[in-house]
Amino acid sequence: MNDVSLTIGIDPGSRITGYGLVERRGRDIVYVGSGIIKAGASGPIEGRLLTIKRELDRVIERYHPASLAVEEVFMAKNWKSTLTLGEVRGVVLLAAAEAGLAVYEYSPREVKSSVTGAGAAHKSQVAAMVARLMRLDHEPETEDETDAIAVAFCHTVRAAGVGGRLA
């Protein structure tokens, strides 16, 4: 395994998709950057998916990560939300494949456990630990951004030892 490895974590959403970049430098895990992709709350889904794809391509081109980590699909409140989330994940996986990135997926429980030590941690606990572990000098704009940093952190920790499942 290389001494330096950059991972982009993705928290997929049809309105807001979060991304977070974390780098392993030897034994240290370092925050590199993060943000959100706003696809909007209205308009046809295909237009929002195109926005997500184009913006994610720009982020990948800018940072050149070695791998992409994404949360697994979970059953949302209704089937339509679950289906839409799956469509967004498909766009994320396509962007990763086109860029030649290794793709890993983690359950929300795995992400929470790697960040807080507890798989049932509340989002506020995850956010507090992400800020502390990554020594963030700012508060992420949304939970989507925080969650994406947590996904990248999870993969970086697991890749150094336990390992994740290839998507």
Catalytic residues: 11, 71, 144
Distance CA 80, CA 104 (A): 25
**Parallel, antiparallel or unpaired: strands 67-71 and 4-11:** parallel
Counting other chains too, the contacts that 87-92 makes at CB distance below 8 Å and 24 or more residues apart are 87/14, 87/45, 87/49, 88/12, 88/13, 88/14, 88/17, 88/49, 88/52, 89/12, 91/49, 91/52, 91/53, 91/56, 92/10, 92/12, 92/17, 92/52, 92/56, 92/68
* DSSP conformation class of 104: E
- At what angle are helices 45-63 and 79-99 packed, to 10 degrees? 40
